[in-house]
Each structure stands twice: as structure tokens, then as C-alpha cells.
Amino acid sequence: MDFELMISSLPKLLNASLITLKLLTASLIFGLFIGLFFAILRVNKNLIINKFAYGYSYIFRGTPLLVQIFIIYFGLGQIEYLRSTVLWVILKEPYWCAIIAFSLNTGAYTSEILRSAFQTIKPGIIEAGQSLGISSKIIFFKIQIPIAIRQSLPAYGNEIILMMKGTSLASTVTLMDLTGVAKYIISTTFKPIEVFIVAGGIYLFMTFIIHNVIKFLERKYSY
């Protein structure tokens, strides 16, 4: 064990975990909106809208994240027509490709989590709102959504942790995130065990924080 290497690589790895956190935060924010949007479509009675939303979540939950990020980064980059459009400004950057892939992926899982939360809301609660003469729009935004979010907290916490670990795939599209920098250090020192232990420790620490924040929120909003 080369403890010196472990200590000297720590600052570089901590610095790189900022990129990991940036990717995670951006993907979660976009993913939450995407997820909420598709969850609303999923509880829609219209069959076409419903199937469309189902198809999206089926595709993105049914294929590996690595494949998705490769299709978006290397795959779309091969389409010559696309390179002449404005879209290329975004797709040219590995950073945005990674965020697009992560957001669409976590959005699919989030939509399923929220959908099941919507469906567990007891009809009595909605009926109570209706009997007070509250409009169905307000019932949806002020009653259904808050309850659904509370219901989905434990499952969503899991999704955040999974996504956090998923960001390690950003290194496959040249981003120097925590895993990317760990691999870079290994490529010059040839000592994978030491460096990966430190990197793994940082991931574990991030999980620890996320886990506790979710636990705190669960307790705060329990009823």
C-alpha cells in the first residue's frame, strides 16, 4: 500500500468530485422536471399520451446508461446533418452530452417513482378537496403533487444515489470527473488499488451525505 500516493492524490480527486457534483446537480434538476412532466402524462387518461410517456420510460429504463451516453455522444456526433445545425453547439461539448444522457435517464426513473406516488394517493383526499369547491388544478398542484413528492422521497433518495454513481460514466466521454481523474492518476502511477480506494471513499462520503439529507427530509415531512 502506497499511503503517500493516497494522500497526495486526495486533493486532486476532491477537486474532480466538484465536476461529479455539478453533473449530478444539473442532471437531477433537469431530470426532476422531465420526470414530473412524464409522470403527469402517465396518469393522463388519453391512451396515446399515456403510451408515449410509457415508451419513454421503457426505453430509458431498459437500456444501460453507458449505451445511452455513447449514443448521444459518439452516435449523434456521426450524423453529418446534425453537425451543421445549432444543436451541435450543445452536442459538441462532452459536458452537455453527459448531462443530457443523465437527465433523460434519471427522468425516466423519476417519472415512474412519481407516477406510483400519484397512484397511491387515496381518492378520498381528492374528493375532500372537491367537496370544498377547490378547482381541480389547485387540487393537483397544492394537494396531489406535495403528497406525491413526500411519498416518493425514499425511492427518490435511492435514485439520487444511483445517479451519483452513474455520473462515473462521464469519464467515458472524456470528462475529468472523479473517476476520470482517478484513471488519469492511475495511468501515470500504475497503482489502481490505492487510487480507487480513495475515489471510492469519496463516493461513499457523498452517498452518506445524500442519504442523511433524504432521511432528514423524510422525518421533517412525515405525517
Q: Which residues bind other proteins (CB under 8 A)?
A: 74, 77-78, 83, 92, 94, 172, 174, 183-184, 186-188, 190-192
Q: Which three cell numbers stand for residue 207?
A: 452517498
The answer to whether the CB of 176 falls within 8 A of the CB of 214 is no
Quote the CA–CA distance of 101 and 69 in Å, as a whole number. Answer: 5
Sign of CA dihedral 86, 71, 106, 203: negative
Quote the CA–CA distance of 28 and 163 in Å, as a whole number. Answer: 8
Q: Which three cell numbers stand for residue 191?
A: 497503482
The total of other beta-carbon atoms located within 10 Å of residue 215's CB is: 13
Quote the CA–CA distance of 56 and 79 in Å, as a whole number. Answer: 22
Selection from 170, 218, 154, 121 nearest residue 20 by Cα = 170
Quote the CA–CA distance of 175 and 210 in Å, as a whole number. Answer: 23
